[in-house]
Structure 1
Amino acid sequence: MITPGGNRYEVVLQDKYYMRELIEDLSLEESLDEIAYRSNVKMAVTPDFPIIGPGQEIRVSGIEFDGKNMVYLLNPGVVWSCDSSNTGFKHINVTVYDRTIYLSKSEDEKLMAAGQTASQRLKQYAADWNIPIAKIPDTQIPLGRSMYRTRSIYAMMQADLKETATKGGKLYRPRMTPAGLELFEIGSNATVWVLDIEQNVENISQMRTLEDVVTQVKVLGTDQKLSGSPNDEVPAPIIAIEKGDTERYGTLQKIIQDDKINTVAEARKAAANMLTGIQETFTMTAIDINTIRAGDKVILSGMELIVTSVLHELGNPGHMTLELASLDYVRRRYFMDGPF
């Protein structure tokens, strides 16, 4: 049986079926646009193949790059879907997600009190969905009152984290670990891999564009009604205007209007965070480093960049495709892209 990397990877179903010898293809994929880590597994179906179906517990492990120890790559996981084909020999394709998928697929309606932090709210969401908690740092920033109408739990979490970032807090991303749900600070990974075109990088492309550039930001207050007819309105009051490099790139203005911005200082900070220069991103393929995750920091040609998406095609050595951007770009693209 051809397996990706021989004995480097293992898939375990329901904590008792070890399926290493049946693996034909195995990948892991993650993006800052989504919460859940995803694995696609193709396996050969033998006469003693166990019954497998959606909802079952499953995990993916592998020997870490440049190491000897088997580590969890996706755990705890859940079988989300599976389909089979038979062309004389039966194969099955299994899609696996980590268990944060339940926060993405489940909707609710919540009223969150003012003064809570994103950390406190995340613990409440997790408790409501019976998800154990691991490392949750104090995000420190008090949030405004939030009335979340029908939306996914993940969307509520993202709104809290966006508000935290807009008010000057750090950037965080929920992650599922074997110990439970953690709140990972973007770029805080202990091991920072250096990627070099002369060593482990196979191909790299760079995109530079004025698309989505912001050189001026106007922060508006809430609409003010005239004291006469309720149908008459005046323009919303301007709280702050922040200018960037308008002389070089022209005036490309964005508006912020949110009732959770209560002071001029908050308005100016939110506006400054939205100012951008030329948008620059990188896409690269390289020898696989199987523990790199979305949100990790890497070093490419001396630049510190954040992984915005990653596709691991596991093997020996395997390959990975990374999309990379600066921390400022990540802040603007993923944490400042609209109302909370």
Structure 2
Amino acid sequence: MSVPEYRAYEVVLDNSYLLGDLIESITLEESLDEIAYRATVSLMKPSGFPDIRPGQEIRVSGVPHRGSDLVYLLNPGVVWECEHSYRGADRLTLTVYDRTIYMAKSEDEYVFPAGQTASQRLKQYAADWDISLWQIPDTVYTLSKKVYRSQPIYSMLLADLKETARKGGWLYRPRMTPNGLELFPLGSNETVWALEPGGNVESITQRRTLEGTVTKVKVLGKEDNPESATPVLAVESKETELYGTLQKVVMDNDINTVSEAVTAAKGFLSGIQETLSVSAVDVNTIRAGDKVELAGSGMELIATSVRHELGRPGKMTLELATYEYVKRRYFLDGSV
């Protein structure tokens, strides 16, 4: 894992122990389905080396693609699981998460009034749980009253972000950074890496299907009388002549006006569902939620999941989809 000129990757335990010379492999994995960035670190355990235990602070650094200096790849992190084995020598496999894992594993309950934004609610979660914040944009759209009973903090925050998206707002993802928790607008990364078939790309698999296609959406209002038909707030359709009528009915108590219903209905409309799986030379700073370019695709793509097998040059596997697909799949209720 090390090279003669400089160490390409470093793992630091408890801000004291440099593990780079002991490392056999490191993988980094992240998905929009989960909040926390995960590292799997395999290393040799020499005689006399202190025991590593869950709960210890740890960080992973690496030299970025086309860079020369180490940068943080996962920091701050926590050792979540340790597996000790013997195969000719003592070995350890560590499962490491960034500290957003605590938002996924810790439960609470809240009652929020109508009129707050997702940003304001995030600041409340952070204040109550002593989470440092960094770069929290104004999510603009005001949310309905919410009563959250015992559930993970992340589930509540995700519900706030989904409601923001349904009302026409941007798509956001919480990310832990060395400076604190940020709210990252999907696709807003400053550096957009280009993937080039025949160049840095080893393979591409494209999947196109009508499964999940929605060509007509009916948005219903609140059910006031169980013996009467539910009022219809909006009906929108698109491409029914191409793919037939594939209708979705939406019932959402957070939608209160016709304009909100029209916005929500248009958000659900979708044609052919298309995703891409790409194997390529590793660019170790690409994260889930980042925009990437795929030469010749003609699409702006978002990484929905990433897997980095760190090394020189290393390998990465990306799952890619359009922004609109990501919105439907991860931020609107119901399946894609």
TM over 0.5: yes
TM range (shorter): over 0.9
* Contact residue 288 and residue 320 of structure 1 kept, 8 A: yes
1:255 alignment partner AA = V
Structure 1 position 50, deviation (Å): 2.1
Q: Distance in 2 between matches of 1:62 and 1:210?
A: 41
Conserved 8 A contact 2:2-2:21: no
Partner secondary structure for residue 161 of structure 1: helix
- Correspondence 1:259 to 2:257: no
SS at match of 2:329: helix
Match of 1:233, SS? coil
Amino acid at match of 2:312: N
Match of 2:285 in 1: 291
Structure 2 residue aligned with 1:169: 169
Supply the distance in 2 between the matched residues of 1:71 and 1:87 (Cα, whole angstroms).
32
| Cα displacement (A) at 1:88 | 2.6
Quick check: 1:218–1:256 contact (8 Å CA) kept in 2? Answer: yes
Counting aligned pairs with the same residue, the percent is: 60
* Aligned mates of 1:88, 1:186 — CA distance in 2: 45
**2: CA distance, partners of 1:177 / 1:332:** 27
The match for 2:328 is: 332
Give distance in 1, aligned partners of 2:287 and 2:92.
26
Shift of 1:123: 1.1
Q: Show structure 2 runs of 5+ residues with no match.
A: none
Please name the residue that 1:116 is paired with. 116
Which residue of 1 is the match for residue 210 of structure 2?
210
Aligned residues: 331
- Structure-2 residue corresponding to 1:184: 184
Structure 1 consecutive aligned stretches of length 4 or more whose deviation exceeds 2 Å = 3-6
> Quick one: distance in 1 between partners of 2:249 and 2:96?
40
TM-score of the two chains, using structure 1 as the length reference: 0.95
Q: Which amino acid aligns with 2:320?
A: L
Deviation at 1:212, TM superposition (A): 0.6
Q: Match for residue 47 of structure 2?
A: 47
For residue 212 of structure 1, give the secondary structure of its aligned residue in structure 2: coil
Q: Is the 8 A contact 1:4 1:24 kept in 2?
A: no
Is the Cα–Cα contact under 8 Å of residues 281 and 324 in structure 1 kept in the other structure?
Answer: yes
Q: How far 1:5 sits from its partner (Å)?
A: 6.0
Matched-pair contact (CA < 8 Å) for 1:109–1:149: yes
SS in 1 for 2:159: helix
Hey, what does 2:86 align to over in structure 1? Answer: 86
Name the CA distance, whole Å, in 2 between partners of 1:332 and 1:239.
Answer: 20
**Equivalent residue, structure 1, for 2:29:** 29
Deviations 1:49-77 (A, max 9, x none): 22211111000000011110100000000
Deviation at 1:4, TM superposition (A): 6.3
Letter in 2 for 1:122: L
User: Offset of 1:87 from its aligned partner?
Assistant: 2.3
Distance of 2:149 and 2:218 partners within structure 1: 27
SS at 2:319's partner residue? strand
Give me the CA root mean square deviation. 1.2
Secondary structure, in 3 states, of the residue corresponding to 2:52? coil
* Structure-to-structure mapping, 1:290-309, within 5 angstroms: 290-302=284-296, 303-309=299-305
